[in-house]
Chains A and B, each alone.
Chain A
Amino acid sequence: MDSKTLSCLLISDFQVENLAGLINNDAEAPILQAKSAPFGQVVPLLMDSNHELWKGPLDSLIIWTQPQSISPAYAKLLDYQDAHLDHVLNDVERFANLILKNSNRAKYLFIPLWVIPTYHRGYGFLDAKSDRGASPVLSKMNLVLTEMLSPSKNTFVLSTNRWIETAGKNAFNPKLWYMGKIAFGHEVFLECVRDVKAALRALTGQAKKLIILDLDDTLWGGIVGDDGYQNLKLGGHDHIGEAYVDFQRALKSLTRRGIILGIASKNDESVALKAISEHPEMILKLEDFAGWKINWNDKAQNIADLVDELNLGLPSVVVIDDNPLERARVREALPEIFVPDWPQDPMLYKSTLLNLRVFDHPPITSEDKKRTEMYKTEGQRSSLKSAVGSLDEWFEKLEIKIHAEELNDANLPRAAQLLNKTNQWNLSTRRLSDKELMDWVQQGHHKLWVIRVADRFGDYGLTGIVSADLQNDLVSLVDFVLSCRVIGRKVEETMLAVAVNFARRSKARELKAQYLATEKNKPCLEFFEKSGFQRTENIFTWDAAQPYLTPRAIQLSGITIDG
C-alpha cells in the first residue's frame, strides 16, 4: 500500500463485501484499501482486543449495524411484542460505550445511523403517536447514539437516511437479503462511499476552500456586457431569476462555513463590478469575494493568478462555470483544480452546489467564518507564474472550424439580429434593418461575410460579421461584430485575416478600422490594441502588402486566404 492509500476496515452484521468492493474501486481521493471482517461478529470483535484484525495501524473503521441486531428490545418492538423504551435505550448505551472503548482502534471511526426497511410501517398512521412506534423509537435510538458518541473527537455518525432517499426504491431489496444477507442496494453503498471519502478529505486537510465563479449565465442569467445589468435574469417574478438568487444564497451560506469566493469572468471589469454593486437582487456583494479576475484573458491563467494572489493551493479550489469549453480548458490546464460538471438548467444550480461533497470541513472555527476578510487583506499581488500549459496547444485540441460566407437571403435574418443586438464586440455599432443591411451589401464596393463557428464542444452557428467598404486603394473595416459565446477561440484574428485578404485581393494599399466608442464596446478596442494593427487615436490600420495570418489552430472554409 503506498503512502497515499488509507486502510479501511468494515465491521457489520450484514454482508458488506459489496461496499468493500466499491471502496476499493473508487478512484476519487483519498484512495482507500478496504477489507471486511466476517459479518455477524460485530460485538465479539469489538470485545476482543487481541483479534488479529486489530493488529497494525488502521486509518478508518466503519461499524455498520442494523438496529434490531444491536437491540433485542427493538427487535421485539418491530414484531409488535412488549418491550419498553428504556430497555431499547439501555441496549443503545451499551453499544455506544463499546464503540467508545474501541475509538482508539483507528484514526477515524464512521458509524452509519440506523434505518429500517421502508416496508416496516410500524403502527401505520399511529406509529408516531405510539411510545412503541418503530419510527419514533428508532429516532430516539439514533439520538442517544449520536449524543453519546459526540464527545469522541475521532468518531463520526453518518446520515444513512440521505443515502436511502438518494437510492430511492432500490434502497432495500428483500431478495438481496435472502440470497446474500446484503442489507442495502447498490446505490446506498455508493452514497456511503461518497460520504466517507468526503469526511476523510476533510479530516486529512483536503477539503476545498475556494470557489471561483464565472458570472454570465452562472451567477446571473444573461450576458451583462450585452444586455446591461438591468436586463439580467436575477430575482423578480421569474422562476429562472429566482433560481439564480437561490444559487447566490447557497454560495453565501457556504461563506459562513469558511468557504471563500472569487470570480474569474470574461467581461469588462467595470461593467461586471457595477452589476454586482447595483443590481437590486444581487445577494452576493463585492465584499463577499476575496478577489476577482475580470478581463478577456485566458480563464485558466486568470484562475492560476487569482489562486496565487490568495496564497492558496490549486487542490483547494473549485471552479464553477456554465460554459463546457471553459470548464474543459481549466481541467486541462489546471488538473489539480476540481471543476464539477455543471447542469445547463439554472434551476438545478443550487442543488448541484449543495450536493458537492468537497466542502466538508472539520469543526468550524470563528476564524473560518472570517476567512474571506483575511484573504482580502492578506492577498499579495504576486507574479503570476503558475504553470497552465500552452494556450496554443489547447486551441489545437479544440478543433475550431470557421466558415465564412457572403450575406444571402438565408443568413440575412440571423446576421441582422447579431448586428443589432451585439454591444461589446462591435467596432462601429451600426444598427440596420434586414432590408437596409442587404441594400448596403448590394452596393458594388461593399462586402460582408458572416462567420459560423464550431468546435469539438458544439456548433455555435452564425456568431460573427465582418464587412468592408472599398474606396479606390483603401478598404475600410465597417462592421466587426462577434458574439461573446465565441470570444477567445481565435475567431477575432480569423475575421481580421478575412478582411485583410479582401484588401489584398482588391489591390488596396491598406485596411483601416475606425473604432467608434460606446458605453459597452471597450472589449473591441482592447482587442484591436493587441491585434498588431497600427493605431492613431481611434483609427487602426494594416499595410495590405502584408498578409494577416489565419491562426494555425483554425480550419477555415468558404474562403481562401492568400499566403
Chain B
Amino acid sequence: MATKDEIRDVIYSAIDEVNLMLPKDRKIEKASHAPLSADKGGLDSLGLINMIIAIEQKLEGRFKKSVSLANEQMMPQGQNPFANVDTLADYILKILEN
C-alpha cells in the first residue's frame, strides 16, 4: 500500500516535469503547502492538465495502478483536492485505497 510520503514524492516528480514548461515566476515549489490550483495562486488550467497527466503516468509507473484524478465522483464535497500538495496527496491516497 502506498504511503503519503511516497505519493508526495510522485507529486514532486510531476512538479519537476511541469516546471520545465513554466516561466521562472510561475514555477511551483516542492513543499507540502505549495498551492497548486489557480485560485490559490498556483497553476493555470493548462498547467493543471499537465500536472494531472504527469501524476497519473507516474502513479501507474510506480504502483502499477491506473488512476483518474479528474474523477468527479471521487472528489471530496466542497473541497478542492488540488489546493496544495498535501490535499492532493490525501486525495490520491483515497483513490488508491478505493
Complex-state Cα separation, A176 to B22, whole angstroms: 17
**B7 located at the interface, meaning its Cβ lies under 8 Å from any Cβ of chain A in the complex:** no
Q: Are B21 and A21 in contact (CB under 8 A)?
A: yes
Q: Are A180 and B21 in contact (CB under 8 A)?
A: no
Q: Which of B17, B20, B45, B53 interacts with A173 by CB under 8 Å?
A: B53
Q: Are A186 and B54 in contact (CB under 8 A)?
A: yes
Complex-state Cα separation, A173 to B45, whole angstroms: 17
Interface residues of A in 159-201 (CB under 8 A from B): 170, 173, 175-176, 179-180, 182, 185-186, 190
Which residues of B have CB within 8 Å of A25?
A: 20-23
Which residues of B have CB within 8 Å of A179?
A: 49, 52-53, 70
Q: Are A182 and B21 in contact (CB under 8 A)?
A: no
Q: Count of A residues near B, CB < 8 Å?
A: 17
Interface centre among A17, A170, A180 (most CB of B within 10 A): A180
**B37 located at the interface, meaning its Cβ lies under 8 Å from any Cβ of chain A in the complex:** no
Q: Are B53 and A22 in contact (CB under 8 A)?
A: no
**A521 located at the interface, meaning its Cβ lies under 8 Å from any Cβ of chain B in the complex:** no
**B46 located at the interface, meaning its Cβ lies under 8 Å from any Cβ of chain A in the complex:** yes
**A15 located at the interface, meaning its Cβ lies under 8 Å from any Cβ of chain B in the complex:** yes
Q: Are B21 and A176 in contact (CB under 8 A)?
A: no
- Smallest CB separation, B70 vs chain A (Å): 7
Q: Are A176 and B20 in contact (CB under 8 A)?
A: no
Which residues of B have CB within 8 Å of A22?
A: 20-21
Which residues of A have CB within 8 Å of B53?
A: 173, 175-176, 179, 185
**B84 located at the interface, meaning its Cβ lies under 8 Å from any Cβ of chain A in the complex:** no
Which residues of B have CB within 8 Å of A170?
A: 57
Complex-state Cα separation, A180 to B46, whole angstroms: 7
Which residues of A have CB within 8 Å of B50?
A: 18, 180, 182, 186
- Smallest CB separation, A267 vs chain B (Å): 42
**A146 located at the interface, meaning its Cβ lies under 8 Å from any Cβ of chain B in the complex:** no
Which residues of B have CB within 8 Å of A541?
A: none
Interface residues of B in 18-32 (CB under 8 A from A): 20-23
Q: Are B57 and A18 in contact (CB under 8 A)?
A: no
Which residues of A have CB within 8 Å of B21?
A: 17-18, 21-22, 25
Which residues of B have CB within 8 Å of A176?
A: 49, 53
Complex-state Cα separation, A173 to B49, whole angstroms: 12
Give A189's nearest chain B residue, CB to CB: B21
Complex-state Cα separation, A176 to B46, whole angstroms: 10
Residues on B lying within 8 angstroms of A by beta carbon are 17, 20-23, 45-46, 49-50, 52-54, 56-57, 70
Residues on A lying within 8 angstroms of B by beta carbon are 15, 17-18, 21-22, 24-25, 170, 173, 175-176, 179-180, 182, 185-186, 190
24 residue pairs from A and B, CB less than 8 Å apart? A15-B46, A17-B21, A21-B20, A21-B21, A22-B20, A22-B21, A25-B20, A25-B21, A25-B22, A25-B23, A173-B57, A175-B53, A175-B56, A176-B49, A176-B53, A179-B52, A179-B53, A179-B70, A180-B49, A182-B50, A186-B17, A186-B20, A186-B50, A190-B20
